[in-house]
Chains A and B, each alone.
Chain A
Amino acid sequence: MRSGVLRRVLRIRSAQIALVILLGIAVLVVFGSSIAPQDPLHQDVARLLQGPSGAHWLGTDYLGRDVLSRLVAGSRLSVLTAVEAVAAALVVGALPGLASVFFGRWFDFIANRLTDAIMTLPTLVFAIAFTAVLGNRMTPVMLAVGFLISPYFFRVTRAAALQYAQEPYVDAARLFGVSRVRVVGTHVVGKVLPTVLVTAATALAGALLTVSSLTFLGIGVVPPAPTWGGVLSSDLNFLSQLPWAPLAPAALIMLTAGSLNILADALRDTIGTSGPPVVRAGAITDQEVDRVDEHPAA
């Protein structure tokens, strides 16, 4: 059933493009600085602020460092810390979301009020504050950010679990004396998973933007370590000489976040979750929806 959903997502053109882009990003993340054409930290004072050339495809920055190499080498930190935040949010949010459906009104009430509270906190300002407390390292800060975005997983999981928990076969299992934990594990988790995946993809795009913002501010990284946001900010004082300089790092951030959003939209349309009412965001056209509907999952 789940592989059917995936197969249908893969038939959508925009999802195919998004997946190819994300695979490319994944290669950058896995191999990072080892496939960078040059040393991302090497300063060449003879070639400061140069435009694209054969030797430097994306030019050099204000210290004469190769921009392409810095972007490639910076991929790992930029993407992996975002993944860490989402993984933390998944654990902190989705598990209580499942539990809230099965562990009584009080648990549900308290968990809901807590998530209401957390959702009103300004994430980025808190992330900046976390660096004051947890030290200027990305991982602990992004784990804390994961806590702040966990309410989204809580809400989505809770809503989906509520829907499936009222199915007759769940009642039947309960009547047969199957324990709550087993009912959740065998009957509900699998059904809720696609919905959680959609949220994870959207949250990953959001976390990526948070990481970029923090590294842009110079927070969470120690110079001269390269990051996507850092490459963007290092050119900021030289915009009059290099007006095109922000293009490459900005494009990298946008492509990654955009692909994740497109994938999330395609997945959402395919599984038809009720989720938050969002317009299809141009992810797929009506024609493609029809085509998907003509070929139900094998």
Chain B
Amino acid sequence: MIVNGPISSGSYAIAGAGNPPGLLPAREQMALSLGWHIILACFGVAFPTMIYVVHRRGIRRNDPIALGLARRWSKVSAVLFAIGAVSGTILSFEMGLLWPGLMGRFGDVLGLPFALEGISFFVEAIFLGIYLYGWDRMPPRRHLAMLLPMGFAGIFGTFCVLSVNAWMNAPTGFRIAADGTVTDVNPWRAMFNDAVWLQFAHMWVGAFMLVGFVIAAVYAVGMLKGRRDEHHRMGFTVPFVFATVAALLQPLVGHILGLQTGDRQPAKLAAMELSLNTEPKAPLNVGGFLVDGHLRWALSIPRLGSIIARNSFTRSVPGLNDVPADQRPPANLVHWSFQSMVGIGTALALLVALFWLARWRKQDLLQRRLFLRLAVIAGPLAVIALEAGWVTTEVGRQPWVVWHILRTADAASPSPWLWLSYAVAFVVYVGMTIGAVVVLRSMARRWRAGEEDLATPYGPGAGPADDSAPSDSTSGYPAAGDDTATSTLR
């Protein structure tokens, strides 16, 4: 079905003529940095909770397999947190280097949650340090408790960062005077803006989805290769349970958030739905492209658009034609990333539902190679869904950086070095990705080879302390059945 609309070609491009030359590289660099960092941020938010579960089980039940998992995961998290911390540092520099027009004018409006997030970053970094070095050096229970502040800091930090992003979508807590200056600043109002709670919920659940599916996928690969021991089973199941809860919850959260978007940012919803004319009983356009102002190759399902996007049989879905031409986001990109996110999210929800349904019917899908293959694919798919979601909301907000207040073009740095800076950033990110993959893979390989303590190559002498910890019963952790050690160390 093809819908016609009087939209001239090119009006959806935002980096058009008249924009400062720094706009495109600044946006690209920011997108790269955020898109890269968000994956590690997810691990920072969700991984400590999962480690807590296996670590607690290991202590409570004297389960050496669970303890082994916790030990390995904590080493993996050390690598991920370290590079996550540097990519987080990159972002805080980039706020100023790339977007001085935003920070100079609105820094005191949006800055407070960042300052609070700094506290949670501190807490995470401090307790991560304690936790990593606490293996075999602290009484087990106190050691386990070191994960709790990390988990809470993750929640709080997510809220703070999402609060800034939500503020960009629903700016409040200030007034613009006649001469353009920002007055009457209320940073708490800006922080607790109308959009923050749902955006936070969406991202927080998303973090557990991503980490749950990615880690489960790692162990699914192992099982496909024939490593069907209890270690792999638990390594799969624990994150998969988290992913299950998250994947089933996420459609609901996302739906409510989408409803809000329609009220707050009609242009964004119009782009997400690829809706041209504001119409009641709007159809749902699956796929499709906007070409020269016409909707092509879309599968249009009558009335479903209003039902899904507006929760109503009759309420209209906003159309791009009602948005002034210079305020339209690039609709195709927004639409496709939105539908990728929704499509993948739905598929993942079905996958977890299938697994537990089969389990309820006394069937173990972990014995089926097809299911394991799907579980492997689910890892990268969860990453893509999260990235697609961010592309949707960020590109859908264009051409504004602060909705209807400040254009992205006016926020970008005029520096002539931005393309070079983007090129260097690109190389650095590629390098860090390769470095992380090489190191993580080699860790996995050495673990499989039975090398539990991953010694450092810098000899002679003992390696860095956290690597030379033994995994046997001489440590503070009891071997199975050894009760006396726990009681004396309590």
A is bound by B: no
Residues of B at under 8 Å CB distance from A? Answer: none
